[in-house]
Amino acid sequence: MANSTLSSPLRGNCPAPFFDAAQFGFGGSVEGRFCAPIPNLGDCCLPCPATDYIYPDDFKKWYRAAEALNLAGLVCMVFLLVSFICLPAEQTRRHYLSYCLIVAAMFLALGFVIPFGARPEQCYDEITPNDMYSSLTCAFSGAFIIAGGMSIAVWIFIRALSMHLQICWDVMPGKRFFYWAQGLGWTVAAAFFTATITVTGVSFRFGDVCHVNAAHSLADFWGPLLAIAGAATLVQLATFGYCIKVYLQSMWNDDKTETQSSMGLPSYTNSVKTRSPRAIYRRVRKVVYLQWRGITIVVFILVDVVFFSIVFIWLNSITAHATDDLQLAMPFLVCLISNPADHEECSPLAEALFVNKSTVIAVLLMLSLAGLQVFILLVRGSMFTGWLDLVRCKFGSKREFVSLDAHKYAVGEHQFELSQVQPSIAAYPGTHSADVSPISPSKEKNDIEPYRRSVTATPEHFSREATREYTTPNLSFSAPRAPSQAVTRAEWDPRATHARGGLGFHPPVYEEEYRADNKI
């Protein structure tokens, strides 16, 4: 391993700290060896792990910190997912695009959390790192990183497309978009995952986490990943451009929103034309205000994906051509041969040949912060309130107001609390006891009877009035009369009823008599 003795026979003719490649077999990730042909000595390889000889000792602390950040991000993702499932929708504002993005971020975080707990052995032998065939931890770690990275890129593109349709085209994605998104999203991610894990593979390249190998990685993984991220970037830039265009149009037409006609009233034709940019601006502003979290997530994740894709492609290119020019690498090799036990002095020369430590740390930290970024932008204060209410409801004391009349078979004196107001209700004519007391259990008949008598008993002053006979006045027409008792037209006499005489107040039968009496 890395701490083998300087006089190991496996070094062959190679000077310390190098090992002779001819002394080892073909197990592990042979492509991951850092070997260079040295004249008259053979292929001499850098000990495994090579990062211990390329970067200083504090590099281990950084990738341990990246693994710890991924563990924190995984816990946050689990909290979000459980909140979406258990809490009401109005408290979480859940959406299937958020579900899928959270699952993708959890895949990526698991790729770092698994080696953080397992602490796997990085090396197969003194010069060869382990790969997915020689280490089960490496296989799971690399698989989750590939699945998470590709899934995040796919669902960021779908999210950017959904916002583009809503903002620019005023189209609300429905069920058809949902089914197409689910089918194509997971299918594309699964297809490229299968191609990468079977053709390219993963191995320990730096740190405890397995990454994609350099061979065929551009065609299987990094190329498609950059293509999807590039498409999402173009869609997002088109959305931003449309928002800027609408904003500028609304500013230019601000002074023309109300064109006055000759009568002093706004002209309908002109007002519609000039207000349309303002109406579009208000709609776009409302949609952007509702979707600002999704827009920010897309921007952050796109920056992360594009950055670490470019860095890994650059790292693969440097690694593949590091041994092509030995004159360029000779200062670093001579430094290692001169200081075989204190290789940290040669780290500045190694960083000049490979990717420097700051860039690698930035990549690891950006990958680790993806889950925390998603959590910060998707979490809401109402989620914590919802969990607090849920815990109080499940485990707190139940102090609910229950009406005394709510129990159908309540017993005791409390069921007659309303008996004090019942006599006043029953005092009105036509009121029955059934309208006042809806419950009367037969087993408590003796207890209820006093209250029933108090309800149905009629007050004394009402009973005396009810026994008097009512005499209808002669001139009262408030009550209907039978046809036999009605006064006919032939028997009507205006003098009997003291009616004043005059035309129009008598039947035509008495017209002659009326004229004679009044001397007409």
Distance CA 124, CA 131 (A): 8
The number of residues making up the chain comes to 520
Which pLDDT band holds residue 456 (cuts at 50, 70, 90)? very low
CA distance 41 to 174: 68
Res 427 pLDDT > 80? no
Identify whether 143 is part of a domain.
Answer: yes
Residue 515 lies in a domain: no
The answer on pLDDT for 419 being more than 50 is: no
49 prior amide bond cis, ω within 30: yes
Helix 292-320 / helix 268-290 crossing angle, nearest 10 deg = 60
Q: Which residues constitute the domain of residue 249?
A: 51-393
Q: Which residue has the higher pLDDT, 21 or 4?
A: 21
- Higher-confidence position of 402 and 162: 162
- Model confidence over 318-347: pLDDT tens digits? 877 776 677 888 888 888 888 887 778 888
147-161, 382-396, 482-496: range with highest mean pLDDT: 147-161
Does residue 507 form part of some domain?
A: no
Predicted local distance difference test score (pLDDT) of residue 474: 63
Lowest mean pLDDT among 145-159, 216-230, 231-245, 317-331: 317-331
Comparing 435 with 253, the larger pLDDT belongs to: 253
Q: What is the mean pLDDT of residues 34-38?
A: 83
Letter string b/e over residues 59-81, b meaning 16 or more CB atoms within 10 A of that residue's CB: beebbeebbebbbbbbebbebbb
Which stretch of DSSP H or E encloses residue 45?
strand 42-45
pTM: 0.71
Q: Which residues contact 427 (CB under 8 A, 6 or more apart)?
A: 458, 459, 462
**Weakest-pLDDT range from 73-77, 444-448, 496-500:** 444-448
Give the lowest-confidence range in 101-105, 119-123, 275-279: 275-279
Span of 12-21, 37-46, 200-209, 392-401 with lowest mean pLDDT: 392-401
| pLDDT, mean of residues 114-132 | 92
Model pLDDT, residue 473? 64
Q: Is residue 99 part of a domain?
A: yes
Is the pLDDT at 244 greater than 60, yes or no?
yes
Question: Residue 114: which of 147, 163, 80, 84 has the closest Cα?
Answer: 147
Q: How many domains does the chain have?
A: 1
Kindly state whether residue 171 falls inside one of the protein's structural domains.
Answer: yes
DSSP assignments along 107-148, one per residue? HHHHHHHHHHHH----BSSSS-B-BTTT-HHHHHHHHHHHHH
CA 518 to chain centre: 100
pLDDT in tens, 257-279: 444 444 444 444 444 344 478 88
Lowest mean pLDDT of 54-58, 78-82, 264-268, 368-372, name the range: 264-268
More confident residue, 404 or 311: 311
3-state secondary structure of 5: coil
Report yes or no on 419 lying in a domain: no
Q: What is the SS3 assignment for 388-406?
A: HHHHHHHHCCCCCCCCCCC
In a domain, 421, yes or no: no
Query: Residue 89: which CATH number?
Result: 1.20.1070.10
pLDDT value of residue 470: 59
In a domain, 227, yes or no: yes
Top pLDDT among 119 and 515 is at 119
Q: Answer whether residue 476 shows pLDDT above 70.
A: no
Rounded average pLDDT over 341-362:
85
Are the beta carbons of 28 and 131 closer than 8 angstroms? Answer: yes
Instruction: Please compute the mean of the pLDDT values over residues 368-388 and round it to a whole number.
Output: 93
């109300």: which residue's tokens? 258
Q: Does residue 506 surpass a pLDDT of 70?
A: no
